[in-house]
């Protein structure tokens, strides 16, 4: 899939360059480019006996396009196609028991759930650009970003080790039913308040806010940079008793033609 995305990026960029290179920047209605960005992600816990444990460091890359909405050069629609890796770590604040009936007398403590999630993101936003101030144009964006899970892995650290009796296994797919032996179903006294299902939702929706700059390099080529806040408003966990929203903060760098 990554090869297909790379080939698509090269094809679209070449086409965009061929279409726009002869036009003055003030006349262009459509611009293409690509961007990369490190991101920091965390879970804003809203319900349940869990807490976020620091920020996860991830990475995003992909294509971007801007379309001018009016004769004014200040108002644009922007769309991205991004692959984003966004890890996060949760800590359970109670005691747990495994679902495996053969281990139902074992009490587990100090549980941490280390999620490594990769999304396909499709942000759509309204972008405002200033006139040039010195050599820079300043940009401001607001929009939405539907996202879909491409891959997901979970490494659970707990005392005692849940992987100890399974050689060569250090992580698992949280949504897979065949490895539910790594899930937990209650507290030390089978307290329903401590039930934790480690499944996650495979679709995500968020609000996007961004600010940045554009710096002209040559012709229609510009260097872009900025800061983006991706504020999730759907639940990350697929669970009845635990709720939280997955948020990102990204530092973006790109080229636009």
Per residue in 129-179, pLDDT tens? 999 999 999 999 999 999 999 999 999 999 989 888 888 889 999 999 888
- Taken in order 228, 202, 154, 171, is the CA torsion positive or negative? negative
Per residue in 198-226, pLDDT tens? 999 999 999 999 999 999 998 889 999 99
Q: Which ranges of the chain does DSSP label H, i.e. alpha helix?
A: 2-20
Report residue 252 as tokens.
């973006």
Please state the domain count of the chain. Answer: 1
Using CA atoms, how far apart are residues 72 and 145, in angstroms rounded to an integer? 26
Domain-embedded: residue 231: yes
Supply the DSSP symbol for 21: T
Domain-embedded: residue 152: yes
- Taken in order 75, 27, 256, 84, is the CA torsion positive or negative? positive
Report residue 132 as tokens.
């040039």
Using CA atoms, how far apart are residues 83 and 77, in angstroms rounded to an integer? 20
Domain-embedded: residue 165: no
Report residue 118 as tokens.
């990769």
Specify the pTM.
0.83
Domain-embedded: residue 230: yes
Q: Which ranges of 30-136 does DSSP label H, i.e. alpha helix?
A: none
Per residue in 117-143, pLDDT tens? 999 999 999 999 999 999 999 999 999
Containing structural domain, residue 200: 32-92+116-157+193-256
CATH number reported for the structural domain that contains residue 239 in this entry = 2.40.160.20
Between 253 and 107, whose confidence is greater?
253
């Amino acid at each position: 899939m990554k090869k297909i995305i790379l080939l698509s990026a090269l094809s679209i960029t070449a086409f965009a360059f061929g279409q726009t290179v002869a036009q003055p920047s003030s006349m262009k209605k459509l611009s293409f480019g690509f961007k990369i960005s490190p991101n920091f992600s965390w879970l804003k816990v809203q319900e349940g006996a869990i807490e976020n444990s620091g920020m996860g460091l991830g990475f995003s890359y992909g294509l971007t396009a801007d379309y001018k909405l009016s004769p004014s050069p200040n108002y644009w629609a922007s769309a991205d196609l991004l692959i984003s890796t966004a890890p996060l770590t949760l800590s359970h604040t109670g005691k747990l028991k495994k679902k495996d009936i053969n281990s139902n007398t074992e009490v587990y403590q100090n549980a941490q759930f280390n999620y490594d999630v990769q999304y396909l993101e499709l942000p759509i936003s309204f972008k405002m650009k200033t006139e040039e101030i010195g050599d820079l144009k300043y940009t401001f964006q607001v929009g939405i970003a539907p996202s879909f899970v491409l891959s997901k892995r979970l490494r659970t650290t707990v005392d005692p080790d849940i992987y100890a009796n399974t050689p060569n296994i250090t992580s698992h797919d949280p949504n897979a039913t065949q490895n539910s032996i790594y899930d937990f179903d209650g507290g030390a006294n089978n307290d329903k308040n401590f039930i934790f299902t480690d499944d996650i939702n495979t679709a995500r929706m968020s609000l996007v806010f961004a600010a940045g700059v554009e710096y002209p390099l040559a012709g229609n080529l510009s260097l872009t940079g900025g800061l983006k806040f991706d504020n999730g408003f759907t639940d990350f966990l697929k669970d009845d008793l635990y709720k939280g929203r997955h948020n990102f903060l990204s530092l973006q760098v790109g080229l636009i033609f």
